[in-house]
Amino acid sequence: MSDSQTGFTPNSRDIDISKTVKMQVSATDKIISTVIYILFSLFAFICVYPFYSIIINTISANDLSAKGEIIFWPKGIHFQNYVDVFKIPGLGNAFVISLGRTVIGTLLTVGASAFLGFMFAQEDMWGKKFWYRFTIITMFFNAGIIPWYLTMRSLHLTDNFLAYILPSVVAPFFIILVKTFVEATPKELQQAASIDGAGIFTIFYKVILPISKPILATVAIFSAVNQWNSFQDTLLLVTDSKLYSLQFILYNYINQASSLSTMVNLQNAGSTAMATLATKQTSTSIRMTVTIIVVAPILLVYPIFQRFFVKGIIIGAVKG
């Protein structure tokens, strides 16, 4: 397995976790090393192969992939699947919903985490201990799915776009991350600003926000991934198909893809003459193509941000 095959390039500017001490290498050490290499390569293969195999299946001849015959490389390459899948009604709308909740939700969550994390890092915050506990305890304790659902319903947050956004704005874990980060910054910065006559909001906005970029990037990417991946809230709260998210649509497709392929093929029959066997939609091809569309943003964004959030988590873990 090479880098070019998977599309991932390891980043050499990552944190170096090797210990620099020289050591004598014995025969047993060599055997152990070899075993380590083999096991890790194997696990890496298991992690990546499912993604790779779905990608090659979506661009292969659909009759072959429906029989499960595409295993190592694509056969009969074509891109009709991606063209056809966008003709499925509702998919574009779901894309807009997923994108919308990701963007809006992430902005609000980052803002709230930054401000609350900053407040909790202040020595003299009013009732700090109580409010901090009040926040943290929700990580361990909740009423349960159904009481939560009934609450959302009594607040009229079912079939409402706000239901995707509001519950996740205040996230204790992110607040801890920001708090730890802010506490690690030099106190003098804030003191100097307050001597210059800056109020608490000015300090937050002018001093803390600019230096907190790395941790806020971490929070942003986590919260964006959460929003994009979220499935349970649609499942529980939404019956209106206009508010379906991509994840929910995909789940439905896995369970009822055969009827969809008939639908797409009927639509196609009108426009193009007769689709050949290789490009004719099958339930497998639709399911896999939608999977790729849903997973693509993560695959694209992930290698860029991986360096950031690993660092962010390590900072948080070492300090807190």
Partner 1 sequence: MVLLAVFAYYPLYGWVYAFFDYTPPIPLSQSPFVGFKWFHSLVENQVKIDQLLQVIKNTFGISGLGILFSWLPMLFAIFLTEIKAVRFRKFIQTVTTLPNFISWVLVYSLAFSMFSSEGMVNGFLHMTGLSDSPVLFLQSSDHVWLTMWFWATWKTLGWSAILYIAAIMGIDESLYEAAYVDGATRMQVIRHVVLPSMMPTYFVLLMLQIASFLNNGLEQYFVFQNAFNKDTIQVLDLYVYNLAMGGGSYSVSVAISMLKSLISVVLLFSVNGLSKLLRGEGIV
Site for partner 1 in 183-222 (CB under 8 A): none
Q: Is 149 in the site for partner 1 (CB under 8 A)?
A: yes
Minimum distance, C-beta of residue 272 to partner 1, in the bound complex (Å): 26
Q: Which of 99, 104, 125, 170 binds partner 1 (CB under 8 A)?
A: 170
Among the listed residues 97, 193, 284, 286, the single contact to partner 1 using CB under 8 A: 284
Restricted to residues 224-263, the positions that interact with partner 1 (CB under 8 A) are 225, 228-232, 235-236, 247-248, 250-251, 254
- Determine if 156 is a binding residue for partner 1 (CB under 8 A): no
Alpha-carbon distance of 137 to 238, in angstroms, equals: 28
Q: Is 256 helix (H, G, I), strand (E, B) or coil?
A: helix
The least CB distance from residue 113 to partner 1, in Å, is 12
Residues numbered 102 to 141 that lie near partner 1 (CB under 8 A) are 131, 134-138, 140-141
- Hunting for tokens 């003098």 — which residue is that? 188
Instruction: Based on the shown chain and the rule CB under 8 A, indicate whether residue 146 belongs to the binding site for partner 1.
Output: yes
Least spacing, CB of residue 266 vs partner 1, in Å: 22
Check residue 52 for interaction with partner 1 (CB under 8 A). no
Please tell me whether residue 173 binds partner 1 under the rule CB under 8 A: no
d(CA 257, CA 251): 10
Closest CA to 118 of 180, 188, 171, 206: 180
Least distance to partner 1 from the beta carbon of 308, Å?
13
Task: In angstroms, give the least distance from the CB of 205 to partner 1.
Answer: 20
Instruction: Choose among 41, 42, 65, 61: nearest CA to 53.
Output: 65
- Piece of 150-158, 183-191, 198-206, 268-276 that binds partner 1 (CB under 8 A): 150-158
State in angstroms the smallest separation of the CB of 197 from partner 1: 28
**Segment near partner 1 (CB under 8 A), from 52-60, 75-83, 192-200, 265-273?**
52-60
Biggest alpha carbon–alpha carbon distance for the chain:
78
**Is 77 near partner 1 (CB under 8 A)?**
no
| CA separation for the pair 123, 144 (Å, rounded) | 34
Burial class (CB in 10 A: 0-12, 13-18, 19+), 147: exposed
Does residue 147 interact with partner 1 by CB under 8 A?
Answer: yes
Q: Tell me the CA distances in angstroms from 66 to 54, 83, 171, 189, one per residue in order.
A: 12, 18, 43, 62
- Burial of 8-43, coded b for 16+ CB within 10 Å and e otherwise, reads eeeeeeeeeeeeeeeeeeeeeeeeeeeeeeeeeeee
288 lines the binding site for partner 1 (CB under 8 A): yes
Within 8 A by CB and 6+ apart from 153, the residues are: 237
Binders in 13-32 for partner 1, by CB under 8 A? 14-23, 26, 28-29, 32
Among 123, 143, 271, 273, binds partner 1 (CB under 8 A): 143
